[in-house]
Structure 1
């Protein structure tokens, strides 16, 4: 049988450029087209104006003494200044450290010290977080942190004013010394245990990944993209921002953090052609009471990614949101992030039941997790990927790097996948999420897809919980369309009977109002298990 290995096309060629060089080409080609829109304030930046604003911030950082290779942190929700810092740090060769907006003091302190952040750009306050107070709290314990600049604050204005005293020739001189393989970004991955690890990414990593994602979406300078996911994650800053600027397209900020109504307002007001989100975001948008009142007719494409994409949700996005060319993307922070993507001309089955096929210039393989041997197509194993997108390594953590990337350059994803005969990939779960019930392997995604067809269920996550007899049992955590109606384990078992194998039928049902999420919208199954175990210590469901 054919092995589970696939290599992407070699055309078009990889971009052998820095991010600043690539942006310069877009500015020269499309100076008067929109580059950035802040929907909440109504502010628009053409490419020419955006380039000027990026240069102001870059010169300000140079004036602050930021050298090539220095780490510059950005701790803020989605805002125009975030994007300016992203491109300004790239132009001066600083390594931008993206800090999760949800971090508290101990997490902030860890990241600032682990990355050795020299200058931090921060919001003053967002939602319930007083960022300034948290920075003041940790700053004495962060000896390498010399400067803090706050957005919409006199410190921001001073940064710009200091930079205005420098000659743009200094910036040109700095840029001329940069190379595509230079590290340009550290993104901290949210590990299930211990402290997060800093995936270190280069110009080549993230610029090419954004470019090829945009190529497969058919982006041109006419596209306008509502980037809903947070910029601190690859979904926002790579698949969103870099996919846009590498094609002369427009980035649209709907709101500082996810707001389903704001996202749809931005689509309608700005005549967006593309909308991004994780499945929970699309579900929230579709469930708005006034959903039908938004004019979404300008949409043609977008990306649903970040976690498992339920088939029924995908069908509604295509049918009710006019996103006939919407893509599913699969990847991880350590691979910049996308390794596989569905294509615009894929049939409905491929665009709802798979995560697509390998991107250009990349390789994927499905292997036996224990031996590393490539398995035949149609057989489940661990998905691994290799190519330009694989990170340089975890920042200052060679042991973790060696554990993640093997000697031949293959990145271990930790995801269980099946490669079809046509090269398309089905993700069947996480190795760590797989439930072993009485010796039977149970993959949560299969059950989740089925339970999405239940008329009372709006969303569902399946987890394994301890069981004295079987080792683990299956629990379905459900969000109902009408919570007051409830849903018992017996009722759900009756729905599943004769349609799922007996060992896959949930023994426990937990009705919840929402799922614990990361800032990027991924469901935190570890937290769900902890909550479920605590509840199960009482009377059984």
Structure 2
């Protein structure tokens, strides 16, 4: 059990920029040792919920939409703990402690309840994207070894219940439980001993997140209780979130941004988590007004849409204290626009799933230049360095290299993939992010690009190889190279460059769009299509993606467009 204070610390960690080189003027190389001026909390996710329910039993904790009925649910901390304890009771009957239990659902209120229930039951929650197609879902269940799949019946027009039934027909060892079957996973009463027997080891696994890799199949990122609790806590302290704040979360819950920062962040400050099931900018604005919200979590696509909706509205803009997010390059004009329209401090987060997820954040008091064009400095308890990708040596101040980090929040492993784990973590224990950046003499970071070929569209990580494989199954495609292109709304969009067999039919883009939509998730389907005679390649035959991207941007390739909307 934790020995720290029973209430959230109201003081933010003080800046600390010790230099390994020992100079008083700042860092002389791109290595920033961890700020240890604030202690870590030794808590599990379940213990944190138990603590807050004891402190604030009648305070609103969670607001969201119930699965199936669409009814609004408003739970106090006492009610949230009760529902989570009943879920823990149900899960304890379905799985053994230490088992993997998968959750496949959109942003219904049951999502965070099950997140807490899984933590109390001692099972590892496998967070799955609700738009996964059958093959993608089958891979995640098979790879994780999940014994139970808890699923929504439907997400928008997607019949998830039918897909789940098809999955378990081929996997009789997997138990599928619909969110409608509340008597199975959330019985009427919690077992008397369930809270007393809840896990207390903060180093134990609590969540498995699937993140796209450059080799096609996603990797399973295994995360600890300690990592999630403290990352949410230190992020909220970093932006000076006030105790009891009301936070609006329109981000997808299967991402760490939502289920860690957007869920455990409000929990840490004893605040209210408002979960939006289906993001709609005008509805989100109305909700911010009606609930007197203080915090909005965002990715650029969401913030841009909210700003556009407010500009089109005749009414005054709601006031916010904090707008916090990131996931891709955030235009300075968007940050300034949000500041002016909503009167909020807008803070940029940087990180990745393997870091649970936040490494660095801009903060109140940072300069205009830092707020607009940096991702701030690392959170406490994280060593950070920039290395030469070729040699691994620490780069000089202001010299671009790979961003690497080491600390309490780093992942345990890539599940069942020791080779990938070893490749991602160097001999000094630093996680290599695959992102390029520079560090200044104060330890502030700017992200300048990516070593990895992942495309980040509206906060969604997309592996080009997975899209290329789907496209290549079309009989007219002799080759495909998928790249990301800059986009004001989404940060990046997916584009495909093709080598076509024979003549290019007029409806090829329509054919390919329909073809890929049957095989991969909707957000992965390319928005733009181009045709090339050949790909620029290395002497060993590897496609030079940066050169392909340059050809597209410089309009040297012919674009084919769909004829249907």
TM-score by length of 1: 0.79
User: Is 2:197 the partner of 1:189?
Assistant: no
Aligned position for 1:314:
335
Contact 1:381–1:418 at 8 Å: present in 2 too?
yes
Aligned position for 2:230:
208
Alpha-carbon displacement from aligned partner over 1:28-68 (angstroms, at most 9, x marks no partner) = 1111111001277443111111111111111111233x211
Aligned position for 1:284:
305
Task: Return the alpha-carbon distance in structure 1 between the equivalents of residues 245 and 152 of structure 2.
Answer: 29
Contact 2:260–2:356 at 8 Å: present in 1 too?
yes
Task: Return the alpha-carbon distance in structure 2 between the equivalents of residues 222 and 173 of structure 1.
Answer: 27
1:216–1:476 Cα change, 3 Å: closer
Task: Return the alpha-carbon distance in structure 1 between the equivalents of residues 382 and 88 of structure 2.
Answer: 33
Aligned position for 1:328:
348
1:309–1:59 Cα change, 3 Å: same
Task: Return the alpha-carbon distance in structure 1 between the equivalents of residues 225 and 337 of structure 2.
Answer: 36
Aligned position for 1:57:
87
Aligned partner of residue 67 in structure 1, secondary structure: coil
Contact 1:278–1:522 at 8 Å: present in 2 too?
no
Pairing 1:262-411 to 2, within 5 Å after superposition:
262-288=283-309, 291-293=312-314, 296-323=317-344, 325-411=345-431
From 219, 222, 239, the counterpart of 2:244:
222
Aligned partner of residue 207 in structure 2, secondary structure: strand
From 11, 30, 34, the counterpart of 2:60:
34
- Which protein is richer in helix relative to its size? 1
Structure 1 window deviating more from structure 2 (365-374 vs 186-195): it is: 186-195
1:93–1:12 Cα change, 3 Å: same
Task: Return the alpha-carbon distance in structure 1 between the equivalents of residues 59 and 262 of structure 2.
Answer: 17
Aligned position for 2:178:
150
Aligned position for 1:19:
45
Task: Return the alpha-carbon distance in structure 2 between the equivalents of residues 478 and 158 of structure 1.
Answer: 45
Residue 346 of structure 1 and its aligned partner are, at CA, apart by 1.2
Task: Return the alpha-carbon distance in structure 1 between the equivalents of residues 310 and 437 of structure 2.
Answer: 37
Contact 1:96–1:185 at 8 Å: present in 2 too?
yes
User: Is 2:448 the partner of 1:422?
Assistant: no
Aligned partner of residue 186 in structure 2, secondary structure: helix
Gap regions ≥5 residues in structure 2: 1-26, 457-463, 465-480, 490-515, 533-551
Residue 222 of structure 1 and its aligned partner are, at CA, apart by 2.4
Residue 121 of structure 1 and its aligned partner are, at CA, apart by 1.2
User: Is 2:117 the partner of 1:88?
Assistant: yes
TM-score by length of 2: 0.75
Contact 2:374–2:446 at 8 Å: present in 1 too?
yes
Aligned partner of residue 531 in structure 1, secondary structure: strand
Shift >6 Å, 4+ stretches: 521-524
Residue 538 of structure 1 and its aligned partner are, at CA, apart by 3.5
Alpha-carbon displacement from aligned partner over 1:472-519 (angstroms, at most 9, x marks no partner) = 9x9966569xxxxxxxxxxxxxxxxxxxxxxxxxxxxxxxxxxx99xx
Aligned position for 2:544:
none
1:178–1:113 Cα change, 3 Å: farther
Task: Return the alpha-carbon distance in structure 1 between the equivalents of residues 97 and 160 of structure 2.
Answer: 27
Aligned position for 1:248:
270
Work out the number of aligned pairs and report it.
456
